[in-house]
Amino acid sequence: MELIKNEELADLYSFYGQLLTKGQQAYFEDYYYDDLSLGEIADNHGVSRQAVYDNLRRSSKSLENYEKKLHLKSDYVKMENLASKALKELNSNPESCHDNLTKLIKLIRGE
């Protein structure tokens, strides 16, 4: 369960990480990408473990809130799925392929 949550946060970070402060980005990357402990991050930045924990919690909440409002990740997944379906159906079911491409174009346009 924790691994899935970490993967989800890493995905959100790839979409919204630039919206976090430089400090939040540093803590997030240290923890999730460089696999440093809270204590190691605290020592590296001259803060308490609690400060690192609180910062990571706030950063995670921010990333989740950005996704709730902007839907970049979920829209990307939808587009990827529609494109994959269309590609699979290209030769075997052209009508369904056409339908999925039409849905994809509408999604891209925000319709």
pLDDT above 90: residue 11: yes
Q: State pTM to two decimals.
A: 0.79
What is the SS3 assignment for 48?
Answer: coil
User: In the prediction, which pLDDT does 21 show?
Assistant: 96
Residue pair 36/28 in contact (Cβ under 8 Å)? The answer is no
CA distances, 14 to each of 19, 63, 88 (Å): 10, 10, 28
What is d(CA 71, CA 77) in angstroms, rounded to the nearest whole number? 10
Residue pair 24/62 in contact (Cβ under 8 Å)? The answer is yes
Q: Give the model confidence (pLDDT) of 21-47 as tens digits.
A: 999 999 999 999 999 999 999 999 999
Produce one character per residue of 77-100: b if its CB has 16 or more CB atoms within 10 Å, e if not: eeeeebeebbeebeeeeeeebeeb
Band of the pLDDT at 56, cuts 50, 70, 90? very high
User: In the prediction, which pLDDT does 85 show?
Assistant: 83
